[in-house]
Structure 1
Amino acid sequence: MPAVTVENPLTLPRVTAPADAVARPVLAVTTAPSGFEGEGFPVRRAFAGINYRHLDPFIMMDQMGEVEYAPGEPKDSTSWGSIPTDAR
C-alpha cells in the first residue's frame, strides 16, 4: 500500500476506534535512554527495558537522527570489540 502524503495532516479523515476496542491505562511516562548502535550510531530506544508483554507485537521504536562522521570516525560500540580485517 503506498504512503499517503498531504500538505496538512489535519485534513485527513479521523480513524474511528473499532467497536470492540478496549482502553488500556498508561504504565509510565519516561525519557528514552541514549546509547550507540552498531558502529557507533547514536540511538534513543523508546521502550528499552519494558517487558514485551506490555507492548503490542509490532511496536519497537528507535530514534536515529542524522549523523555526519568523518572517514574512520564512528566508534566501535559492539560488546565484542573490533572485528579483525586480516584473518590469517
Structure 2
Amino acid sequence: MRKEYDFSKMKRVPNLFEKLSKEITFRLDFDSLDYFQKVGDAYGFPAEKVMQLYLQKLASADKVLNIGFPTLEERKDLDAYIERQIERETKA
C-alpha cells in the first residue's frame, strides 16, 4: 500500500443505493404514531423505521390490502347496479 493516494484523479461512482428508496411526507393520526413509537421503543428503532419495515413486509407478501372501503371498480359496479334498480322501479 502507498503512504498517500491522489483522490483528485479518482472517477466518481454513482450511488447504487440512492434509487432503492424515496423520501415522502404524509400525515398520521396521533394514535397510529403512538402505536409505532411504542413498537419501535421495544425494538430500539424509531417509529419511521418500524413503519418502513411493516410496509415492506406488507408489500412483499403480495396480498390485496383490504382497508374497509370498496375499490373504485367495486363502486362503479355498485353505481351501475343502483342505476339498474332505479330504472326497474320507474318502469314498474
By relative contact order (CA 8 Å, sep 6+), the higher-ranking structure is 1
From the two aligned structures, give the one with the greater strand fraction: 1
From the two aligned structures, give the one with the greater helix fraction: 2
For the superposition of Structure 1 and Structure 2, which TM-score range results when normalised by the shorter chain?
under 0.3
Q: Which has the larger radius of gyration?
A: 2
What is the TM-score when the length of structure 2 is the normalising length?
0.19
What is the TM-score when the length of structure 1 is the normalising length?
0.20
